[in-house]
Structure 1
Amino acid sequence: MNGNNPYAGPPGVTDAGSPAPVDLSPEQERRLRRTVAGIVSRTESYLPDGYAVGSELSVGTDGPQATVAVNPPAGHPVTAGFTPDLDELEAGIAESDADEVARGLAASAAIQVMDAIGDVTPTAK
């Protein structure tokens, strides 16, 4: 029964139906989505066809969280996640930071393919 009433839980926990203090304003959410979409686009530009790139936004206990993932044609998927603070969302995430994430993801995905293929000689040239 404890979980069914809005007063359940320890003090300081958001009441049922109330917005959490880390909820984003619509403008902050748009900025974050735009930034993450830019990271996805940049990552795709560094990679050849065959790599699937996607993203996910969520709000956790520490605030908004963004994850960008690359699924290479061979090897394991790689991800990069970050939790921007609210001040960073207001000012906008620096282009250099977004580019660094995109380059790192692309490089990690390429390494996954190289590790998966190993020393196998390609059959076609």
Structure 2
Amino acid sequence: MSYRREIVNRILANSGATLGIAVLGISLAIAGAGLAQTKSTKKAAPAGKDAAAVARGKEVFQQKCSTCHYDTSDAKKIGPGLKGIGKRGTFTVNNNKVTDESLKTWIENGDSLMPPFKDVIDDNQIKDVIAYVKTL
């Protein structure tokens, strides 16, 4: 069985049918650090509608993405840790700018290790996960 298939099966086993937001499989190739996991620090969420999107995104992340990604560290799990991804400026694997659109494209299409999610999660879930990840 291929390594990619093994990751997909692991995510499905832990996440159910909504491969969901291993989205931050976005970062499977994004940061690829190897640093020790660090303590999380709480940040204030934006007010109103944005706060709701961040909360939904966090929930999806915990259910779907945390199998492969840390949200409290930039250390590698299966995929890279996502702490600080919004501040990095560029993806480490390809030097593309980290933007909402580039994150969306990464989540939808995947890469060599991360499966594509465009047929698994909807646009609103992707937007919510991106909103959450940008707060890390």
Shorter-chain TM range is under 0.3
Q: Which has the higher strand share?
A: 1
Question: Highest CA radius of gyration, 1 or 2?
Answer: 1
Q: TM-score, length-normalised on structure 1?
A: 0.26
Q: TM-score, length-normalised on structure 2?
A: 0.24
